[in-house]
Amino acid sequence: MTETVPPTSVPNDLSVLVIGSGGREHALARAIAADPSVSAVHVAPGNPGTASFATNHPVSITDPDAVAALASQLGADLVVVGPEAPLVAGVADAVRKAGIACFGASQQAAKLEGSKVFAKEVMAAAGVPTAQSRYCTTPEEVEAALEEFGAPHVVKDDGLAAGKGVVVTDDEQEALEHAAGCQAVVVEEYLKGPEVSLFVITDGETALAMQPAQDFKRVGDEDEGPNTGGMGAYSPLPWAPKDLQQRVLDEVALPTLAEMRRRGTPFTGLLYCGLALTDKGIRVIEFNARFGDPETQALMALVDSPMGEVLYRAATGTLAELGELRWRDEYAVTVVLAADGYPGEPEKGGRIELPEDTEDAWTIQAGTALDAKGNLVADGGRVLAVVGRGKDLRTARGAAYTHAGAIDFPTGFHRYDIAEKAAVEQIENSYSEEQQ
């Protein structure tokens, strides 16, 4: 039997199925729906937010056959896989096997995210700069590695942990305890310098860098408290070097894609480059095989290219025909509203009332549900993500925080300092530029 292959010319009435139920998927589906060539948007399982403009379908997202069957049944032209778990489970492979275009890494390629050790091997082979590291399976190995690199200590669980499997600490005891709770860990050299998230859309060969973004991983203001999946984000970065996108393509993304092709497991979909800009140059902190959350919410507020077409081209090997991505000449800030208790056990069921979305500020839903009476309630850790957009960071922040302040969510909390420092520095910079 020959496999059917999706057409490489972009259909002008694209039907798109987005897999996932978080803020990232809400933001992606919203941007895809705004593409005039898209005629239908489905989300599985989706959330009450996606139900307001797309059709939600129940599905077990880590069941490759179930997702492929749903896509076939809906007659979808394109499936976009949001989270990492279905990619690692082989969902993209099953969808492609059913003859449907899929934006998402194959099971083999998703190992770049799923296994820190695999990612380190690929980077070493490709000459991509990253932190020195040691793979440890015994307490003795961990102790030796902590000794070798010194404080601050970085200890990473060698498995998927949704951004929460990493401990960065000056306390050797805490580092040892984290390692003791994992089967295998990677102990790393500490990278000093600002962090940047740079997303690369790729068909395996052609790579398009999105604008750089920054996310805020710690739960509290001033970067206090434990790591989370991300409490907020902004883009673009007024302080970043102008050639950052090109340098990340040349030094990180293109060599990694070439190495993945050489191994016979080309990487297609979204290569998330988590970077530290150190005084020795760009260093990779981690790769992910999917859009980052909540950076995606900010990027989707700014992208001006038709996202249905972009992702379809990436899925069908025709990205080279697209040209560069286009962006609005504006800034976006995302503020996450989490449920009390997050990143530990979040309180479920707290009621939520949302203000109307506006042109400059809107709510993206993530961990929400409807209760028996049809009222919106919290149903996860990161519950909502507010997006504000404006001509500069200060305006975008103002829009986001004003909107967040109008949300009634008594059992939720958010950070107050998302993009604050960058907004102040942007004003200082533009002031000093005017003086010159």
Residues that bind ligand GLY (CB under 6 A): 163, 215, 229-230, 288, 292-293, 295
Report the partner that residue 230 touches, choosing among ligand GLY, ligand AMP, none (CB closer than 5 to 8 A by kind).
ligand GLY
Is 390 strand, coil or helix?
A: strand
| Residue 10 CA: distances (Å) to CA of 4, 13, 171, 272 | 16, 9, 54, 25
- Pick the stretch among 15-23, 43-51, 161-169, 198-206 that binds ligand AMP (CB under 6 A): 161-169
Q: Which does 178 bind (CB under 5 to 8 A by kind): ligand AMP, ligand GLY, none?
A: none
Q: Is the dihedral of CA 85, 90, 94, 99 positive or negative?
A: positive
Q: At closest approach, how far in Å is the CB of 172 from ligand AMP?
A: 16
Question: How, if at all, do strands 382-390 and 331-339 pair?
Answer: antiparallel
Under the binding rule (CB under 6 A), the answer on residue 190 touching ligand AMP is yes
154 binds ligand AMP (CB under 6 A): yes
What is the enclosing helix (H) or strand (E) of 95? Answer: helix 91-97
Q: Does 94 bind ligand AMP (CB under 6 A)?
A: no
Nearest to 387, CA basis, from 378, 396, 374, 377: 396
The pair of structure tokens assigned to 287 is: 């790769």
DSSP letters spanning 166-230: EEEES-HHHHHHHHHTSSSEEEEPPP-S-EEEEEEEESSS-EEEPPPBEE--EEEGGGEEEE-S-
233: contact with ligand AMP by CB under 6 A? no
Q: Tell me how far, at minimum, the Cβ of 414 lies from ligand AMP, in Å.
A: 19
| Residue 77 interface partner, choices ligand AMP, ligand GLY, none, CB cut-off 5-8 Å depending on type | none
In the complex, the smallest distance separating the C-beta of residue 42 from ligand GLY, rounded to whole angstroms, is 23
Q: Candidates 60-68, 187-195, 294-302, 386-394 — which segment interacts with ligand AMP by CB under 6 A?
A: 187-195
Helix (H) or strand (E) holding 284: strand 281-288
Single residue of 74, 166, 319, 404 touching ligand AMP by CB under 6 A: 166
Figure out which of the listed residues 217, 313, 382, 389 binds ligand AMP, where binding follows CB under 6 A. Answer: 217
CB of 356 to ligand GLY, least distance (A): 27
Look at residue 190 and give the partner it binds from ligand GLY, ligand AMP, none, a contact being a CB closer than 5 to 8 Å depending on partner kind. Answer: ligand AMP
Binding of ligand AMP by 156 (CB under 6 A): yes
Distances (CA, A) of 174 to 20, 93, 142, 153, 208: 34, 40, 12, 9, 40
> Closer CB to ligand GLY, residue 291 or residue 401?
291
- Picked from ligand GLY, ligand AMP, none, the partner binding residue 292 (CB below 5 to 8 A depending on kind) is ligand GLY
The item of ligand AMP, ligand GLY, none sharing an interface with residue 295, based on CB under 5 to 8 Å by kind, is ligand GLY
Tokens of 109: 């390629």
Q: Is 271 exposed, middle or buried (0-12, 13-18, 19+ CB in 10 A)?
A: buried
Contacts 24+ apart (CB under 8 A), 176-181: 176/139, 176/142, 176/143, 176/146, 179/136, 179/139, 179/142, 179/155, 180/139
Determine if 251 is a binding residue for ligand AMP (CB under 6 A).
no
Binding of ligand AMP at residue 295 (CB under 6 A)? Answer: no
Window contacting ligand AMP (CB under 6 A); options: 32-40, 175-183, 186-194, 295-303: 186-194
Given the DSSP bridges, would you call strands 412-413 and 361-365 parallel, antiparallel or unpaired? unpaired
Which stretch of DSSP H or E encloses residue 421? helix 420-435
83 binds ligand AMP (CB under 6 A): no
Q: How far is the CB of 281 from ligand AMP (least distance, A)?
A: 14
Site of interaction with ligand AMP (CB under 6 A):
131, 154, 156, 163, 166, 168, 188, 190-191, 195, 217, 227, 274, 285-286
